[in-house]
Structure 1
Amino acid sequence: MAEQKTPMQRALPGLLVAGSLGGVGLVMVSLLSLAPPVQDGSTPLAAAKDQPTKVEVSNAGAFVLPATVGPGGKNAPLTPARLDAPPPLAALPVVAPIPAPKTRAAKVKARPSRIKIPKIKVNAPVGAVTVNIKGKLGTPPLSKPNQVGWYRFSPVPGEAGPSIINGHVATRKGPAVFDRLRELAKGDHIYVYRSDGKVTRYTVSGIEQASKTSFPTNRVYGNTNDAQLRLITCGGVYNKTAHSYTDNIVVYATLSKKKG
């Protein structure tokens, strides 16, 4: 049987990510050329580079980035990988993606509705986010700090390609849904429930903290043949004046079980 391809599989997407107050702005340049650039109003982000780079770390000098995304873990510092590094390898055997619906009615039903991450006690509804007329990709409303946002033009969780879900790390009232995202590590499970009754289980394969000035666009949003998930929130130092964090936390996960 010929392999079904999603829109993301037909061409490589490029996205830039920028965070604002306790949140994360996902910037998606569809297929690296089709969609307009998007940013959330904080500092502009640099595009992915072809060659490895060095990162300047406050009070620590420069260091060469590792060739792979780290596994994370208790008391393990999160660092970025080289921009040319691929996504981390799956922690568990990969299962085949859920076929994309063929009819419009079925596509409307197949939407993520809830995400659960037992390790960090996340049990949150999933809303859809998209770009506005100014080219900015929305984040969940600050009035709903426990809600996450799925970019509705990324693959539906379970289908081939990288599904993109973002969430705030904090609001002015306190911690938000992804406050503990940085605690995840290779082997942890993430469950995404769909409105058509299907349930997907992803297993974390790696996690990194990347500067917004050198965001790993291709690694996060590049095409994949299997079903993958990216969870993104803010990290690093919070600038009270700019209402922005310096970094993004990115969790990579691969579909390891499905039902329904």
Structure 2
Amino acid sequence: MTDQNAPDHDAPAPVPAPFAVPAAPAQKSPMQKALPGLLIAGSLGGVGLVMVSLLSLAPPVDDGSGPRPVAAPQDVPTTVQMQNAGAFILPPTVGPGGKNKPLTPARLDAPPPLAAVPVVPAIPKARTKTAKARPTRIKIPKIKVNSAIGGVTVSKKGRLGTPPLSRPNQTGWYRLSPVPGEVGPAIINGHVSTRKGPAVFDRLRELAKGDQIYVYRSDGKVTRFTVSGIEQASKSSFPTKRVYGNTNDSQLRLITCGGVYNRTTHHYTDNIVVYATLSKKKG
């Protein structure tokens, strides 16, 4: 079957007429000559107008090349500024505490507070292990504390132990800390409350600089410490170095819970820490 649209290769090619002369083009008017240029100019003008309109709607972009605006001074702080005022500025030292004064934490790098009264030399350590003394009782006249002292250690998770809840009026001495009266910070803690009610250190937050604390020892010596400062710090940012760091004299730390009680975890959010220095000894 033959494709009727295919070229016929057997037919001779057509021969153009000899000496054919093309017809001359007709003459254009001046308007016809200028029309293409006008059309192109009109098109470019329309495109330019559209681009100008779009740029006017776009947000300004600061490329850093222009002059910087100067912010006007604000004499009156905004609400947010007032709420955040002092949020990240902690005192450079532990506060003295006192009646109706809120307890606040100091900077983590702040040292223990300075002694409220002249300090006395520490009690030398016993030369023999069998003669090692231990604290037996603590008395704090201002808040009516008269408590026996037991021993506490640190758990596997690094948490300082506390006296048993079955003995809410007992305090605990950290056995790896110095004996009260010796060089260094002696640590004694106690509960602020139990499910049955207030515990031994329920009123610890009432102490203030200058108040006196008495610790009795098994070797018959009695030590008197004078409060130099008190703070309430979050447990998530506990001032470990300030509380447990070495000192050149005899100091005492009393610790209990404070802040808000979390009924889910059964823990308080903060700790209250009392700092005191040895001011008298006898026996």
Smaller-chain TM-score bracket: 0.7 to 0.9
RMSD over aligned CA atoms reads 1.3
Aligned residue among 130, 137, 151 for 2:160: 137
In the TM superposition, residue 131 of structure 1 has moved relative to its aligned partner by 2.6
Aligned residue among 206, 218, 242 for 1:183: 206
Partner of 1:150: 173
Aligned pairs (5 A) from 1:187-206: 187-206=210-229
Relative to 1, partners in 2 of residues 1:133 and 1:244: Cα closer, same or farther, differing over 3 Å? closer
| One-letter identity of the residue aligned with 2:189 | N
Relative to 1, partners in 2 of residues 1:134 and 1:214: Cα closer, same or farther, differing over 3 Å? closer
Partner of 2:31: none
Relative to the length of structure 1, the TM-score reads 0.75
Q: Distance in 1 between matches of 2:226 and 2:116?
A: 7
Structure 2's unaligned 5+ residue stretches are 1-81
1:170 aligns with 2:193: yes
Partner of 2:3: none
Aligned residue among 117, 120, 132 for 1:95: 120
1:227 aligns with 2:227: no
Q: Distance in 1 between matches of 2:129 and 2:280?
A: 26
Aligned pairs (5 A) from 1:71-86: 71-86=96-111
1:117 aligns with 2:140: yes
| Overall identity of the aligned pairs, in % | 82
1:105 aligns with 2:130: yes
Q: Distance in 2 between matches of 1:94 and 1:77?
A: 27
Whose helix fraction is larger, Structure 1's or Structure 2's?
Answer: 2
| One-letter identity of the residue aligned with 1:167 | G
For residues 186-206 of structure 1, the C-alpha deviation after alignment (integer angstroms, 9 at most, x for no partner) is 000000000110000000000
In the TM superposition, residue 240 of structure 1 has moved relative to its aligned partner by 0.6
Q: Distance in 2 between matches of 1:91 and 1:135?
A: 32
Count residues in correspondence.
Answer: 200
Relative to 1, partners in 2 of residues 1:135 and 1:64: Cα closer, same or farther, differing over 3 Å? closer
